[in-house]
Amino acid sequence: MICIVLGLGFVWWYFAGAGGSSTVKFTPQDLAAMQDAGKQLTYQGNGGNPTVINGMGRPLLIMARPLPPDPDGVFSIGSLTVIRAGPAMVRVQATAAGKPMFVFRQRTWGRLKDAPSFTIARRIVHEKPLATQLAVTDAQLAQLAKIVATPPLKGAYLSALPVEDAEMTTAATAWAAYQTALASKDPKQVEPATSDMLKTMHGIGDVALARANKEYAASDEAIGQVLTPLQITAYHQGKTISAP
């Protein structure tokens, strides 16, 4: 009985105090300690996940800094050999003939960007209701289909840079010289051969990137010659154009 009475008393006491307010008083020393702890919260850099480090008994909040970009050089990624040089990331692939094949890609995303007009043209080609909404003629549709299918880097090759055959030959020559120097294990040969190879790949990447951007600009201009200003405005405003 005593246990039951004590239990009921505890339940009554618990719920009787629920929802009530209470006042907590801090001493000047408590407030000073809280302010001092707040001053120790230090933020460094941008982005990243905060990491709490307990040093000297005081909290320290550090925001992780973005990692620096990878330096130029030759790297192994799994079974692949990759060259990072300037704006290009070059993948070296073996072939059945025993000669390496080079695939040049943009090193970081965002170097190549579709113009807004290219997105409009792509949607019109692949979305019949949109073409109807903008009163796109069959002739316009045929022209837009050709534009969005070229250049190749907008299609199957995604981020691949357009490199010509002569540039591929230059890349293969520089790579062969680099391999020969590595085989010699002579630092006096390896260092200059590595430098020359990276410089060659860098130069090819610069030219290819400029060529790609030129092709993007040409596509943008061509789309502007196919679509009328009225159709482009209607697209942005979500309006329908009455067919003639």
Phi-psi region of 56 (alpha: psi -120 to 50; beta: other; left: phi over 0): left
CB 106 within 8 A of CB 89: yes
Which phi and psi (to 5°) does residue 55 adopt?
-115, 135
pLDDT at position 156 is: 43
pLDDT at position 134 is: 94
Bridge partners (DSSP) of residue 118 are none
DSSP string over 156-177: TTTTB----HHHHHHHHHHHHH
Instruction: State the 10-residue block means of pLDDT for the chain, 244 residues long.
Output: 62 54 58 55 44 50 62 85 92 83 83 79 92 94 87 53 92 95 93 95 93 84 93 91 76
Contacts of 205 (CB under 8 A, 6+ apart): 85, 86, 87, 88, 90, 104, 107, 161
Sheet holding 73-77, edge to edge: 73-77, 80-85, 88-93, 101-106
Q: What is the pLDDT of residues 148-194, one digit of tens each?
A: 876 545 544 456 788 899 999 999 999 999 999 999 999 999 999 99
pLDDT at position 228 is: 93
pLDDT at position 162 is: 85
Which residue carries 């294990």 as its tokens? 185
What six digits make up the tokens of 67?
Answer: 């990692």
